[in-house]
Amino acid sequence: MKPLLGAAACLLAGTAAMAADMITYDTDQSFDDVVFGLENAILDAGLVIDHVSHTGDMLERTKADVGSDITIFEHADIFSFCSAKISREVMEADPMNVVFCPYDIFVIVRADTPDVTTIGFRTYPDGPMKKVETMLDEIAKSAISE
């Protein structure tokens, strides 16, 4: 019966992940301009970018390998970073908030809307994690402010 419970837990976790909400902002600024703005906004907030995932490049590079010919993104990068101060606050409130760290902001240009750059991030649960959501919102808005 334990394997069944494990499978059920994975199924529920997968359903929750698929249902995650996002906050997004569209702009007519170029992908490069939004990325430059995002990098500066993260650094201006006193944070360090831990990793940049070039998701769009990976999907394009591997599409034939998985039997597809569809281009999803012109560009798609995900920036991961953390805030020692805010992370400590939210994890002191609930150590299980570790599951949300590092925090990610994505910048994409979809192949079907090549003149629109979208910046966004996932929403977080009510409570202490809303501090993280507020921080990400401020960074994303700063990235596209002209």
Assigned domain for 7 exists:
no
- Reported pTM: 0.84
Is 113 a domain residue? yes
- Summarize pLDDT for 3-35 with one digit per residue, the tens: 444 444 434 343 334 446 999 999 999 999 999
For residues 79 and 106, the answer to whether their CB atoms sit within 8 Å is yes
pLDDT at residue 56 is higher than 80:
yes
Token code pair at residue 9: 């837990």
Q: Dump pLDDT digits (tens) for 83-123.
A: 999 999 999 999 999 999 999 999 999 999 999 999 999 99
Could you tell me if residue 16 is inside a domain? no
Q: What is the DSSP letter of 120?
A: E
Q: Which domain holds residue 132?
A: 21-144
Cβ neighbors of 49 (< 8 A, separation 6 or more) are 39, 42, 43, 79, 80, 81
Question: Which pLDDT belongs to residue 146?
Answer: 64
Please tell me the total count of domains within the chain.
1
Domain with 77 in it: what CATH number?
3.30.310.70
**Averaged pLDDT score across all residues of the chain:** 89
In a domain, 9, yes or no: no
